[in-house]
Structure 1
Amino acid sequence: MTELSHGAAWMGGRIIPISEASIGVTDWGLTHSDITYDVVPVWGGAFFRLPDYLDRFFASVAAVRMNILMDRQEVHAALEEMVAASGLQAAYVAMVAARGPNTVPGSRDPRDCSNHFYAWCVPYVHIVKPEQAEKGTSVWIAKSVRRIPKDSVDPRAKNYHWGDFTSGLFEAKQEGFETTALLDHQGNVTEGPGFNIFALFGDRLVTADQGVLQGITRKTVIEIARSKGLTVEERPLPFDEFLQADEVFLSSSGGGVIPVVRVDAHSFSNGAPGPVARSLRSTYFEWLEEPRFRSPIQYG
């Protein structure tokens, strides 16, 4: 096992062990959490839906008014070079645009910052351990915090603003739950740290359309669900309605479809993963292997 197989980074055109990767202490990416990023999975030696992830990444970069001085072909090449050097056949791959340090001493003008791109990869990350996902996970609805409003921080531009999620995670862990999900200020279910949420009512699948990241795994699940004859509704999902669902599951690039068996004190599917969630989870991993979605990596 090489040093890079534990994780690699691409910074300034160089590939280095992830343990050596860093950004400066005055970088606004650090001091102001002024970063946008995306994460694409590698499975079986190929990127999954890389064009979709690149589309979203560059849309996010434009939304936060950054210029990383690289086009999508150059970013693709950097990601492939990095993963190939690591030798990882299954990986969690992040592409990041940071505001950078302000080049004018004392300036608070973000236009004076030197924006930059970097990337890193580690062995594939499951946001819920696979053995737990197979049994169904538990979700705590945060009580002390609500999701940051979309007109304060746009969730469609993937970002590092995790203050609300972190507060919810502390609550969840203290209550003995695996993870957390947040409501918005109108009492609708939004999302959790690193995942979107789906609720099944008969043959109708409902997922939030506001206050959430438009996840690529979310998109994949919607396509799979429709291919199986389910109706998908993207709309506000009030918490009271959510609790009446037949099944609940999460979607994430870190693990695909993850069944939920408990939300707060409420159990779903008699405390076991429901048949629809299990079917969608199985099909998701089948789609990871489909050539139409794969961008193979040329390993040395």
Structure 2
Amino acid sequence: MSNSRVSDVNTQRVDSPAEEKASFARGAAFVDGKIVPVGDAKISILDWGFLRSDATYDVVHVWNGRFFRLQDHLDRFSRGMKRLRMTIPYSDAEIQSILQECVLAAGLTNAYVEVVCTRGIPLPGSRDPRQCTNKFYAFAVPFTWIATEEQRVRGLRMRISNVHRIAPEAVDPTIKNYHWLDLINSLFEAYNFGDETAVLTDGREHVIEGPGFNIFAVIDGIIVTPRSGVLEGITRQTVIDLAEMGGYELQQRALKVDEFRDATEIFISSTAGGVMPVGWIDGKVVGTGGRGPLTEKIQKHYWELHIDPAFSTPVSQ
């Protein structure tokens, strides 16, 4: 998209009459070259992104008017599209301009911002994905926490699920995708036990990841996180970076269910909330209970990075 096309996108944003501003209160989306209220954003029911979960996406958040690790998210989005053999007519700089416009149109200081590429619609009667024109969408909505303020202090109640994570040989977890039925089923299982979230295993007695988050365990003073079978989260990478900066030992390796249960601290990482403690596993208190001291330090340093220009980008006015 040339600069003139970026300008065209900018001019589509309506932000003068009060009633039109109010229509963007729930968020703004980029659909078919226009910025529209998120409630008006629509895709075709025939799009394979809807019919077949044939899509990839990424999510970056804005905190206090700054995107956090925006380029890292765009790089991962680009890698996902390439591996799924998808292409869109926008460069990273043009996508960034679109995301800026979505955030500004919605008037958000703290936002959850998503980019999506779908396979699109094939020719009538065709099942050949090469005959689809890939589609690009984006939206910004108010920031969403996956843990309440109380949970971020006392810790989440987590269940080790009997549901196995989709095998990486079947669906590559490093490509962010909408194949969530295993994750959803694990949540319902957790709710049946009165718990609040779940972690799935690989079927070989190793914990992998949960619905929208990576996991970390403190074992004998060492931070451990699963190496394989997981989405390589940007927040996960931030924790790895913080461990290196803080002089904490961190290992990426297979994490057995039994040692996970016996960890002195457990925490999760996600764009939708950052670093959050786990207080119970299968009804058993983790460590001495509540948010552990190492988790609290990582959590504090994580949010401090949001004002660091090496990690954050201001939303331009």
For the superposition of Structure 1 and Structure 2, which TM-score range results when normalised by the shorter chain? over 0.9
Aligned residues: 297
Who is 2:55 aligned against? 35
Aligned to 1:92: 112
Per-residue Cα deviation, 1:93-148 (whole angstroms, up to 9, x for no partner): 0000011111x2111111111101000111111111122211111111111x2000
User: Normalised by the size of structure 1, how large is the TM-score?
Assistant: 0.96
Asked if residue 221 in structure 1 is aligned to residue 230 in structure 2, the reply is no
Residues 36 and 61 in structure 1, CA contact (< 8 A), matched pair in contact too: yes
CA deviation after TM superposition for structure 1 residue 282, in Å: 1.1
**Equivalent position of 2:139 in the other structure:** 120
Report matched runs for 1:40-79 at 5 Å: 40-79=60-99
Alpha-carbon RMSD: 1.1
* Counterpart amino acid of residue 127 in structure 1: I
SS of the counterpart of 1:170? helix
Q: Distance in 2 between matches of 1:39 and 1:263?
A: 28
Find the counterpart in structure 2 of residue 186 from structure 1: 204
**Alignment counterpart, residue 13 of structure 1, candidates 30, 33, 37:** 33
Q: Distance in 2 between matches of 1:116 and 1:231?
A: 43
Secondary structure of the 1:129 match is coil
Q: Which amino acid aligns with 1:114?
A: T
Matched, 1:241 2:266: no
CA contact (8 A) 2:157 2:283 kept: no
Cα deviation 1:70-106 (Å, max 9, x = unaligned):
221111111111111111010000000011111x211
Asked whether 1:101 is paired with 2:121, we answer yes
Partners of 1:264 and 1:159 in 2: CA distance: 28
Taking the aligned partners of 1:37 and 1:130, their CA distance within structure 2 comes to 27
Q: What are the residue-to-residue correspondences of 1:140-159 with 2, within 5 Å?
A: 140-143=159-162, 145-159=163-177
In structure 1, what is the Cα distance between the partners aligned to 2:121 and 2:141? 26
**Structure 1 segments (4+ residues) deviating >4 Å:** none
- Asked if the contact 2:219/2:259 (under 8 Å) is kept, the reply is no
| Structure 1 residues 127-185: Cα deviation after superposition (integer angstroms, max 9, x where no partner) | 11122211111111111x20000010001000000010010011111211111110002
Structure 1 window deviating more from structure 2 (199-208 vs 211-220): it is 199-208
Q: Which runs of 5+ in 1 are unaligned?
A: none
- SS of aligned partner of 1:276: helix
Deviates more, 1:158-167 or 1:9-18: 9-18
Q: Verify: 1:176 aligned to 2:194, yes or no.
A: yes
- Counterparts in 2 of 1:193-208, with a 5 A limit? 193-208=211-226
* Counterpart residue number, 1:264: 282
Distance 2:75 2:81 in 1: 10
Matched, 1:277 2:278: no
| Structure 2 residues not aligned, in runs of 5+ | 1-20
Q: What secondary structure, in the 3-state scheme, does the structure 1 residue paired with 2:198 have?
A: strand
Residue in structure 2 matching 1:131, options 128, 145, 150: 150
The one of 102, 107, 113 equivalent to 1:82 is 102
1:37-71 CA distance string (max 9 Å, x none): 00001011111111111110100111111112222
Contact 1:130-1:255 within 8 A present in 2 as well: no
Moved more, 77-86 or 34-43: 77-86
Structure-2 separation of matches of 1:23 and 1:226: 43
Q: Rg: which structure is higher?
A: 2
Distance 1:12 1:191 in 2: 34
Q: TM-score, normalised by structure 2?
A: 0.91
SS of the residue 1:161 aligns to: coil
- Aligned twin of 2:4: none
